[in-house]
Amino acid sequence: MDHIKQNDEGLYTDIQKVGCFFRSALLLAEIKTGKSLDVNTINKLWRRCKALGLIDSDNNVLRSANIATLALRELGDQGFIHEIAVFKSGVTTWYSGVTRRIDFFIQKIKQNGPSKTHFRVVDKYGNLVEDPHRPEILCQGIIYSICYQYEKA
């Protein structure tokens, strides 16, 4: 499935410049539902996430699982996406009270671009599932992966 990339000219400039984590969170919902969000809906979700404080005034994503869940709603799914662990240097650090089942990963990597880091969706082996940017950003090293779980409504 072809998804809108963060640097699509129809998206807000902030998304184009620093929206890889935001766009990766939305991709979790798109992958789960097998549907794609359009440019207008992505821009609407950006505004909503900023208004709800899920993205701060410096455009840092604060609550990626909540963003992914909002995207599920836009795509007609009433389920939830939860952040449940962090995988770093071969070690999974589970959050308390979670079921130990991972459905999705967002990986933070080092890169040579202006921001020096980039987020993308990977599988359990660290293989790229979807890069929110076109062309794909070349990985210069893995920093960590955030682990997520889908819960039916």
Choice between 113 and 61, residue whose per-residue pLDDT is larger:
61
pLDDT digits (tens, 9 = 90+) for 58-80: 999 999 999 999 999 999 999 99
Handedness of CA 54, 73, 103, 18 (dihedral sign): negative
Phi first, then psi: give them for residue 139, nearest 5 degrees.
-75, 125
pLDDT of res. 55: 98
pLDDT of res. 123: 96
Asked whether residue 114 carries a pLDDT value surpassing 90, the answer given is no
pLDDT of res. 11: 98
pLDDT digits (tens, 9 = 90+) for 3-31: 999 999 999 999 999 999 999 999 999 99
- The DSSP call for residue 90 is T
Mean per-residue pLDDT of the chain:
97
pLDDT of res. 128: 97
pLDDT of res. 110: 97
CB 102 within 8 A of CB 132: no
**CB crowding 17-34: b at 16 or more within 10 Å, else e:** ebbbbbbbbbbbbbbbbe
Question: Which residues, at least 6 apart from 34, have a Cβ–Cβ distance to it below 8 Å?
Answer: 1
Rounded distance between C-alpha atoms, residue 97 and residue 57, angstroms: 31
Phi first, then psi: give them for residue 73, nearest 5 degrees.
-60, -45
CB 73 within 8 A of CB 36: no
Using pLDDT thresholds of 50, 70 and 90, give the confidence band for residue 133.
Answer: very high
pLDDT of res. 113: 81
Asked whether residue 1 carries a pLDDT value surpassing 80, the answer given is no
Asked whether residue 105 carries a pLDDT value surpassing 90, the answer given is yes
Using pLDDT thresholds of 50, 70 and 90, give the confidence band for residue 127.
Answer: very high
